[in-house]
Structure 1
Amino acid sequence: MKIGIDQISFHTTQYFVDMAELAQARNEDPNKYLIGIGQKKMAVIPSTQDSVTLAANAAAKILTPTNRQQIDTVIFASESGIDQSKSGAVYLQSLLALPQQVRAFEVKQACYSATAALQLACGYIALHPDKKVLITASDIARYGIGNAGEPTQGGGAIAMIISKDPKILALEAESTVLTENIMDFWRPNYATEAKVDGHYSGHMYVDFFDEVFAAYRQKTGMTLANFAALAFHLPYTKMGLKALRSVLPQADAGTQQRLMANFEDSRQYNQIVGNLYTGSLYLSLLSLLENTNTLQPGDRLGLFSYGSGAVSEFYTGILQANFKAALLPKLHQAMFAARQQVTVSTYEQLFQQQLPTDGSTVELDLSQDPAQFVLTGIDAHQRQYRKQY
């Protein structure tokens, strides 16, 4: 039985800041951001959006009357959770008007958790082939204003429906994993912004990829020639490029050219959004599928997932017949085209407009947020949400 990604969608906010302008404001050479980390634009998240609303806005794009009734599990993957006890998935069940007869829970392990959710979902569907699982990977990457991590911020959400006989990508059984307790990135409970050792994290990312890919080759006997494309977790797109370059010498010239060309397709969306944490690998996959002119049904894709701290996995999938028909490129491109560029000073103001941490009552101004699902404020220590249309 084939099991995998049946549908996939993405949502981000209506605002972005241009990376060249941000570099100039920080007295940096724009090429440090445009080439050095490989980013062009960075999503800016207003206070009326959080990980729950981003996830709901992404998921609404792929829900239909039919699959609503088949979904009996909702998994919320995030490292930007809004509550230490209640999962974001419970809010999604209500906001999306899903049946109450669903299990709903949250998973966390830095940027790896969406892959954990995917593997859990595939195992569940193997036992319950008449059901579907909704996964959202939703995050807001925050490092602070003016520090080294600032240009690798961003935010948004991926939503995926996992099922038997998937329309897009059928996952293969074999994968390789690696876990090591390291301190390359973390966010203590008392902090609203992440702590990161950027250079160390970058080195560990490449090392983990090399190790799980080598293990996969040994386990399966496959080589780079077996893959039409590789998709990477892309907190910033230069990181994935470094990992790809680390293994390209294993391949002949034709394979190297193919993998590099497909990598360029796979990073187009990430370059104009920034860091999605849990969703970054799957935004890269979506970018690859919606921008490619060369991939064909039956092609094998390799996917590298990395979550700091650190857990990684390399796994593979086969593109399905008519996979292009199941995608939503026009919807996503229209969303990107409608975004509004903000100045660096406006970005800084939006960044600093955080909800109170003492539970104070607050009502947010919704007049500038066109999203379907919004955060309206806090009342009695409870976040208040609204569906606007």
Structure 2
Amino acid sequence: MNVKVGIDRIGFYTPKWYVDMAKLARARNEDPNKYLIGIGQRKQAVIPNSQDAVTMAANAADQIIDDDNRQKIDLILFGTESGIDNSKSAAIYLQHLLKLPNTVQSVELKQACYAMTAGVQLAKDHVLAHADSQVLVIGADIARYGLHTPGEPTQGGGAMAVIISANPAILSIEEGSAHYVADIMDFWRPLYETQALVDGKYSSQQYIDFFQRTFTQYQKQTNLKISELQAIVFHLPYTKMGLKALRAILSKTSEIHANQLLREFEYSRMFNREVGNLYTGSLYLSLLSLLINSESLNAGQKIGLFSYGSGAEGEFYVTTVQPNFKDALNIPIITKILSQREELEIPVYEKMFASQMPLTNTDFETDYQADDAKFYLSGQKNQQRQYRSR
């Protein structure tokens, strides 16, 4: 790769409400440590009916779009499994909300939690072919399994937005990646279902298998030594899942390096522990968490990324840290989003969870007055979603 291409900017958004996982565990007659340690979660984002994949994407992307890059963006790739229309792309709504040029190509991508990574790789190739362009890549989702279900403690939601460009300020993407796909039924959501169906233990086994396959394949393709990686970040449907996968390869390196990878992993899951499952954006929230919280990342170091989407598709690729990368991160904004949220007591959380706009043709008004986000969904009128901005 003659020209460096990679992540130039990163944005993140999650709504301002959360539920405490220890309290949720007690309300479900479970030992709190089952949630806090067993799955590795402290808090879980609660999504109001005034937010959906489109508005959360807009709130994340708004952080990284300004007069310097607005006219350079010529492609939007929107990864989601929480699409709001079977025909019209969420990227079209997003283009309008962000006031991006009408010449921008806008496409929605779907393959469970893998779709944002597909967008990143497609964006990289696009920039290599059009060096002056920039691509906005989105991962936005609401993870819903239902109240009182086994999947309830792995819910959450939010959005990640990245700008892929030449000469990136944060991370360059190394040439090549390792890919694996198989038709399996570990997690799926038929058209008639509003909540996912999942075979949890089987999915966890497949996740680890796909990681080992793609990591080994990448090593064979590139002659990468595990010792060359400063850190490995994972798609984190719950944070203990990434730890299980990491432990599966630690025997391939020295004890000193294994401990280093474990330390960096703890930094990489700090934000995910506070938010829960982002589906398509989960890997990139983990990456952002590492970039902001790690005490030992330096320019030139390599970070491995493992992306997994049930059904199933996996990919492993490597990025390189760029000089002064922290200057390009919106650390005060990210800190504010996570630190100024409001805790919901369990009955209030359950009421908000059940208040989602129904999938019917009737008019509906959301509780948008309580939502102070810049972009929000006010409801549905004449079978059309009503998006607004402040």
TM score, norm. by length of structure 2:
0.99
- Of stretches 288-297 and 350-359 in structure 1, the one that deviates more from structure 2 is 350-359
Alignment of 1:204-283 (within 5 A): 204-283=206-285
Matched, 1:102 2:104: yes
Alignment of 1:2-17 (within 5 A): 2-17=4-19
Distance of 2:223 and 2:368 partners within structure 1: 55
Distance of 2:374 and 2:267 partners within structure 1: 29
Paired position in structure 2 for 1:56: 58
Q: CA deviation at 1:223?
A: 2.0
Matched, 1:387 2:389: yes
Paired position in structure 2 for 1:35: 37
Distance of 1:63 and 1:215 partners within structure 2: 36
Q: CA deviation at 1:355?
A: 1.1
Q: Which amino acid aligns with 2:168?
A: P
1:218 aligned counterpart, secondary structure: helix
Distance of 2:224 and 2:164 partners within structure 1: 26
Matched, 1:184 2:166: no
Alignment of 1:338-377 (within 5 A): 338-377=340-379
Distance of 1:29 and 1:365 partners within structure 2: 33
Q: CA deviation at 1:336?
A: 1.1
Distance of 2:277 and 2:335 partners within structure 1: 18
Paired position in structure 2 for 1:89: 91
Distance of 1:238 and 1:229 partners within structure 2: 16
Paired position in structure 2 for 1:193: 195
Distance of 1:126 and 1:273 partners within structure 2: 34
Deviations 1:246-271 (A, max 9, x none): 00011101111110100000000000
Q: Which amino acid aligns with 1:245?
A: R
TM score, norm. by length of structure 1:
0.99
Distance of 1:334 and 1:191 partners within structure 2: 35
2:249 aligned counterpart, secondary structure: helix
Paired position in structure 1 for 2:298: 296
Deviations 1:282-336 (A, max 9, x none): 0000000010110100000100000000000000011001111000111111111
2:175 aligned counterpart, secondary structure: strand
Q: Which amino acid aligns with 1:6?
A: D
Q: CA deviation at 1:3?
A: 0.3
Deviations 1:106-163 (A, max 9, x none): 0000000000000100000011000100011000000000111000000000000000
Deviations 1:166-225 (A, max 9, x none): 000100112100000000000011111000000000010001101111111122222210
Distance of 2:366 and 2:203 partners within structure 1: 36
Q: Percent identity?
A: 53
Paired position in structure 1 for 2:69: 67
Q: CA deviation at 1:41?
A: 0.2
Paired position in structure 2 for 1:317: 319
Structure 1 segments (4+ residues) deviating >3 Å: none
Deviations 1:25-84 (A, max 9, x none): 000000000000000000000000000000000000011111001001111110000000
Distance of 2:28 and 2:163 partners within structure 1: 41
Distance of 2:76 and 2:107 partners within structure 1: 7
Matched, 1:80 2:87: no
Alignment of 1:132-171 (within 5 A): 132-171=134-173
- Of stretches 215-224 and 81-90 in structure 1, the one that deviates more from structure 2 is 215-224
Whether the 8 Å contact between 2:48 and 2:352 is mirrored in structure 1 is yes
Q: Which amino acid aligns with 2:50?
A: T
Q: CA deviation at 1:243?
A: 0.2
1:297 aligned counterpart, secondary structure: coil
2:378 aligned counterpart, secondary structure: strand
- Of stretches 273-282 and 330-339 in structure 1, the one that deviates more from structure 2 is 330-339
Whether the 8 Å contact between 2:357 and 2:366 is mirrored in structure 1 is no
Q: Which amino acid aligns with 2:200?
A: G
Structure 2 spans left out of the alignment, 5+ residues: none
Q: Which amino acid aligns with 2:266?
A: E
Matched, 1:331 2:333: yes
Distance of 1:362 and 1:320 partners within structure 2: 47
Q: Which amino acid aligns with 1:155?
A: G
Distance of 2:367 and 2:60 partners within structure 1: 22
1:66 aligned counterpart, secondary structure: coil
Figure out how many residues of one structure are paired with residues of the other and give that number: 388
Whether the 8 Å contact between 2:111 and 2:309 is mirrored in structure 1 is yes
Distance of 1:354 and 1:60 partners within structure 2: 24
Distance of 2:366 and 2:262 partners within structure 1: 45
Distance of 2:22 and 2:389 partners within structure 1: 35
Deviations 1:340-359 (A, max 9, x none): 00011111111111212221
Q: Which amino acid aligns with 1:100?
A: N
CA RMSD of aligned residues (A): 0.6
Whether the 8 Å contact between 2:49 and 2:367 is mirrored in structure 1 is no
